[in-house]
Structure 1
Amino acid sequence: MKKNCKRIKEFCAENFEHIPQAINAGASRIELCDNLAEGGTTPSYGVIKQTLMYTKEKKVPTMVMIRPRGGNFEYDEAEAAIMKADVEICKALHVEGIVFGCLKDGWLDEKLIKELLNQAENLLVTFHMAFDELSVENQSKAIDWLVDHGVERILTHGGSAQNTIIENIPHLKELISYADGRIIILPGAGIRSDNVDQVFEQLNLSEAHGTRTVSF
């Protein structure tokens, strides 16, 4: 099957405020969240609804963050129930996809991820930067597991948050090679409008993520 060569600049939006400007500047997909100071949490019903009214008119797909709080990515039963309820809201509002990541004892929280995937039904799913908390060995195993369970893409910085995205390109290349087209590796964090083309070219990818992937 021929790959779509269109470059997708995913704009990570904190609420609705800058979405119109981002789309006008060339953002071709939105990741919608709240509380970026904590790495992004689930936005409110009203924010999701208003955003979708705009993005669907513009034919720009929207992925909604499912994360009940900042901090680590290990969730208890109450937090899992919140996440499932938020997935139901996203389905009712007809979002294109959701973004989440769940860990347990240094590995994927397989039980909760399966539950959320079942809840998501036909929504596209991105596993977010919780992936970067895994050991390098477990990252390869996680790619296999997420592929087997139908996850669409993995959002990753490719290494330590202390490194620039350019410094992490060697490991990103390893992840992309291992994934071998079975799942999309979506680089993010530190990708800006002035280096996004370099990231595309060095990684031979067609998708990139960040709060500054477009300039406005």
Structure 2
Amino acid sequence: MYLKEVCIENYSSLPKAIAQGATRIEICDYLVSGGTTVSKGVMHEAAAYCAEKMIPLMAMIRPRSGNFIYNDSELKIMGYDIIEARNLGLDGIVLGCLTDDHLIDEDAIEQLLEEAYGLQTTFHMAFDAIPVEKQFEAIDWLAGHGVQRILTHGGDLSLPIEETLPHLKELVDYAKDRILILPGGGITNENADDIHHYLGVSELHGSKIVGEL
């Protein structure tokens, strides 16, 4: 068995996702762009519903679509959204910040992790924009700063996940028990079991991992 994290857009798909077997929810808006932060109202209602069903809830913290290079004002917005997520009883957040040269923005992440004290944290698919030869250093840094998991496709999202599985396996083996590698992007209810067996991971992520919503 493995945990099935379902990524949903806004609130409307939440009841169906849980009914179909989701064991954790990531809630975001504007999925076509990779997801942005939902409103406080959506967070509130989603948190209440998930608490009733005893399903953990993660919120995307991303103030806009586009790249993952954020200025000071955007980081303040992200900090406020993290505080709201914690105050509303969410279990965790999903975020990622990069520098101009596509490395982890360590100062930004450290700042946001302070705001996220007490919450689970996932570094999202901004990880896949990091040069492959630098990804192992990134794993070391994130693990050392208490981040629980890294959501990654193992390569460009234009590639089917079947083609990125070998690199995902390298990341899983390197991370070992220090930080969880959470595969995502193209995982469905039809291929999830095979991917789980190949990678030996305990969690998988996808918008269709429990079928169409």
The aligned counterpart of 1:80 is: 75
Report the Cα offset of residue 79 of structure 1. 0.5
**Count of aligned pairs between the two proteins:** 211
Report the Cα offset of residue 125 of structure 1. 0.1
AA aligned opposite 1:92: N
The aligned counterpart of 2:57 is: 62
AA aligned opposite 1:57: E
> Pairwise CA RMSD of aligned residues?
0.8
Q: Compare 62-71 and 158-167 and name the one that shifted more.
A: 158-167
Q: 2:160 aligns with which of 154, 160, 164?
A: 164
- Secondary structure at 1:143's aligned position in 2? helix
AA aligned opposite 2:62: R
The aligned counterpart of 1:3 is: none
> Quick check: 1:110 aligned with 2:106?
yes
Q: 1:36 aligns with which of 25, 31, 40?
A: 31
> Quick check: 1:134 aligned with 2:130?
yes
Ranges in structure 2 where 5+ consecutive residues have no aligned partner: none
- Secondary structure at 2:64's aligned position in 1? coil
The aligned counterpart of 1:155 is: 151
- 1:114-125 aligned at under 5 Å gives the runs 114-125=110-121
What is the CA–CA distance in structure 1 between the aligned matches of 2:23 and 2:142, rounded to whole Å? 25
> Quick check: 1:97 aligned with 2:92?
yes
- Secondary structure at 1:31's aligned position in 2? strand
The aligned counterpart of 2:202 is: 206
Taking structure 1 as the reference length, what is the TM-score of the superposition? 0.96
What is the CA–CA distance in structure 2 between the aligned matches of 1:51 and 1:158, rounded to whole Å? 29
- 1:178-189 aligned at under 5 Å gives the runs 178-189=174-185
Report the Cα offset of residue 161 of structure 1. 1.4
Taking structure 2 as the reference length, what is the TM-score of the superposition? 0.97
Moved over 4 A (4+): none
- Secondary structure at 1:167's aligned position in 2? helix
AA aligned opposite 2:151: L
What is the CA–CA distance in structure 2 between the aligned matches of 1:40 and 1:14, rounded to whole Å? 8
Ranges in structure 1 where 5+ consecutive residues have no aligned partner: 1-5
Report the Cα offset of residue 215 of structure 1. 1.8
What is the CA–CA distance in structure 2 between the aligned matches of 1:61 and 1:10, rounded to whole Å? 9
CA deviation vs aligned residue, 1:22-47 (integer Å, no higher than 9, x gap): 11110000001001011100000000
What is the CA–CA distance in structure 2 between the aligned matches of 1:81 and 1:186, rounded to whole Å? 27
